[in-house]
Structure 1
Amino acid sequence: MNAVIFDMDGLMFDTGKVFALAWDYAGEKTGIGKAGYMLRKTQGMGFTAARELWGNEFGNSYDEEGMRRHTREFLLKYYAANRVPAKEGLYILLNYLRNKGSRLAVASSSPGWEVENHLRKAGIWDYFQVIVCGEMVKHSKPAPDIYIKACELLREEPENCFALEDSRNGILSACGAGCKTVMVPDLWQPDEATENMLFGRFANLEEVMLYLERTGILD
């Protein structure tokens, strides 16, 4: 294995609660009411990819442009005053992979400004050779585009890359690209069909590091 590709929201950072607050705020601003619960229905997807789900839920009342605008408004204000907690084991795993000489990438459906904000505030921007954000691909997760793009920029074949994910849509994206997909669950536990797609499942990122160290799979 030559490279490891990280999802961001829910995998590296505990952003779920923040997004729920942001969508409650944006929903009230656009007239559909608190919409934070949509996080579970659209986990891992960008607004465009989840358009049908939002439309089915709110019909003609759904204002995608307004939701985007007010979500960004809330997040910018929140992130200016707060640092989103890193998930357990993130720094341990990153340092282990750096010491192993692994090439690292981020494949996140979030916009570039948000990805950069989190990585820089956490002091891990320089760990990654490649960063692919939602606006860099035509189709967001669960389509495989974002992982295919990350592998291309890493100059690695997908079968030689680990993908670390926490959501069903992310797993479908990574597996669809051909990556060996490892799950660290956040808001959702895999069903049997999804479980069968995984290379492995661990409770936190430190467990991922311990598995890699024990098996010597990166040696």
Structure 2
Amino acid sequence: MNRSFDALLFDMDGLMLDTETLSCAATRRAGAELGIPVDDAMLMGMVGLSEARCARYIAEYLASEELAARLQQTSRACYRRMLEQEEIPLKTGILELLDWAASQSIPRAVATSTRREIADVKLARSGLAHYFRHTIAGDEIARTKPEPDIYLAAAALLGARPERCVVLEDSPYGMQAGIAAGARVILVPDLITPSDAQRAQALATCGDLSQALAILKTL
């Protein structure tokens, strides 16, 4: 079958794994423990950012590098415990989509803002690791999302031209990264509702990955 794409590039948190809610819960727990106010606006501003970008964002939001460092250190420890002890839920449709991609021998890679150590834990504990021979983590590139570097690197790992890749993303930052790399992006929103302008930039905006699969089968 002649497809209009050669490879699939996947975000991880919020796209394949329902971990953004875990991350928000960890930050709230850390804030409560430290007496640092954590509101919805802060949490939503962090979605899709790398750990380094989150640190800068929180410092600006709280107007304090010291408070930001304490909050991030405590929330990181809490999040790690949650990942190791609690179930990591999958997003609706991801197994169906990955099984189809594997059956069609479509090259695929993970491109996540999460640092390597944590990304490997998530992929292994969720059972998704065996679907991917290639992964790029946020601490392995110079510039993280919304810059295009991570998707350019993922395409290069697969030997695919970026413009022949389809990126699957849940966040506006991730979509910006995919588009900047020259790829087409299917947006499957998680915590953040995209604006009309953002929807217009996407190849499609889907309610879940089952809908995304239906679109991929037509390309």
Give the TM-score normalised by structure 2.
Answer: 0.90
Counterpart for residue 183 of structure 2: 179
- Describe how 1:64-213 pairs up with structure 2 within 5 A: 64-213=68-217
Letter in 2 for 1:196: A
Aligned residues of 1:25 and 1:34 also touching (Cα < 8 A): no
Deviations 1:85-140 (A, max 9, x none): 10000000000000111111111111212221221122221211210111011211
Larger displacement relative to structure 2 (28-37 or 52-61): 28-37
After superposition, the Cα gap between the structure-2 partners of 1:177 and 1:210, relative to the gap in structure 1 and judged at 3 Å, is: same
For 2:216 and 2:142, how far apart are their aligned partners in 1? Answer: 33
Secondary structure of the structure 2 residue equivalent to 1:141? coil
Give unmatched runs, 5+ long, in structure 1. none
Counterpart for residue 33 of structure 1: 37
CA RMSD for the aligned pairs?
Answer: 1.8
The size of the alignment, in residue pairs, is 215
Letter in 2 for 1:153: L
- Describe how 1:6-45 pairs up with structure 2 within 5 A: 6-34=10-38, 37-45=41-49
For 1:11 and 1:188, how far apart are their aligned partners in 2? Answer: 12
Deviation of residue 79 (structure 1)?
1.8
Secondary structure of the structure 1 residue equivalent to 2:190? coil
For 1:149 and 1:26, how far apart are their aligned partners in 2? Answer: 34
After superposition, the Cα gap between the structure-2 partners of 1:172 and 1:62, relative to the gap in structure 1 and judged at 3 Å, is: farther
For 1:119 and 1:52, how far apart are their aligned partners in 2? Answer: 26
Secondary structure of the structure 2 residue equivalent to 1:110? coil
Letter in 2 for 1:94: L
For 2:193 and 2:41, how far apart are their aligned partners in 1? Answer: 17
Deviation of residue 34 (structure 1)?
3.2
For 1:187 and 1:159, how far apart are their aligned partners in 2? Answer: 27
Deviations 1:27-74 (A, max 9, x none): 345553335652211210023224443233111254444334222211
Report sequence identity in percent.
28
For 2:74 and 2:153, how far apart are their aligned partners in 1? Answer: 29
For 1:32 and 1:49, how far apart are their aligned partners in 2? Answer: 19
**Correspondent of 1:4 among 8, 19, 26:** 8
For 1:132 and 1:54, how far apart are their aligned partners in 2? Answer: 24
Give the TM-score normalised by structure 1.
Answer: 0.90
For 2:209 and 2:31, how far apart are their aligned partners in 1? Answer: 33
Secondary structure of the structure 2 residue equivalent to 1:196? helix
